[in-house]
Amino acid sequence: MSPEAPSQPPSESSADVPTVLVHDSRGRQLLCFLEQLIPLDGHDYVLLTPVDTPVCLFRLDDDEDPELIDTIDATEPILSVADVVLQEHDLTLVRSAVTLTVSGELDEPEELDDDEDADDDSETYELLVSFLADEREYGLYIPLDPFFVVARMDGNGAVLVEGEEFERVQPRIEAELEEREGDD
């Protein structure tokens, strides 16, 4: 298996890209495309992208900027409302490891032109759906920047790299990827 990323985005070449099932420390799973394989310290680390579309939940308030809700319990009533709204669009909300994802046929989000890009630290999102729950407005947004997952291969699957292990290997993985890009 080649450690190089596919030359086409996963949406165009998904039949050619191997998939890996990632598990997190809470037993949740996320099916991902294998983008890069990076051997470090006797382990095979992988850079992955989710097969389903990652989404972020925001609380919307007319008076304030949207607030990202980055930790939410899978049984949260807000997600039940989101389930119903997404079903109206033939989509399914999946409570995956790492992030919420949506499965089903989505239109590709419009890409921003390079000259329209904001500063590099800001993320850009596209609204997928908005809905009311407990008299508050929420929105599920698709991040337009690539969403990568770092995992360690474990048998036929992979384990999400979290906490201290992530802090230790993340800079080394980035350095390896930069070196590979320089070799191209």
For the segment 115-134, what is each residue's pLDDT rounded down to a tens digit? Answer: 444 444 456 889 899 999 88
User: In terms of Cα–Cα distance, which of 135, 144, 132, 134 is closest to 56?
Assistant: 144
pLDDT on residue 103: 92
pLDDT tens for 96-117 read 888 899 998 876 554 434 444 4
**Based on the number of CB atoms within 10 Å of its own CB, is 131 exposed (0-12), middle (13-18) or buried (19 or more)?**
middle
Q: Phi/psi class of residue 94: alpha, beta or left (left: φ > 0; alpha: ψ in -120 to 50)?
A: beta
- pLDDT value of position 123: 66
pLDDT value at position 74? 67
CA distance to 14, 25, 89, 151, 155, per residue, from 36 (Å): 15, 22, 33, 11, 17
- pLDDT score of 135 more than 60: yes
Q: Which is higher by pLDDT, 39 or 72? A: 39
- From 144, 31, 130, select the one nearest 88 (Cα to Cα): 130
- Looking at the predicted structure, is the pLDDT value of residue 23 above 80? yes
Outline where DSSP puts E strands in the chain.
Answer: 19-23, 29-40, 43-50, 53-60, 67-69, 92-95, 100-103, 125-133, 136-143, 149-154, 157-160
Tell me which residue of 180, 143, 140, 158 sits closest to 32, measured CA to CA: 158
Would the pTM of this model clear 0.85, i.e. be above it? no
Using an 8 Å Cβ cutoff, are 82 and 92 in contact? no
**DSSP, residue by residue, 86-98:** HHTTT-EEEE-SS
The answer on pLDDT for 62 being more than 90 is no
Pairing of strands 157-160, 19-23: parallel
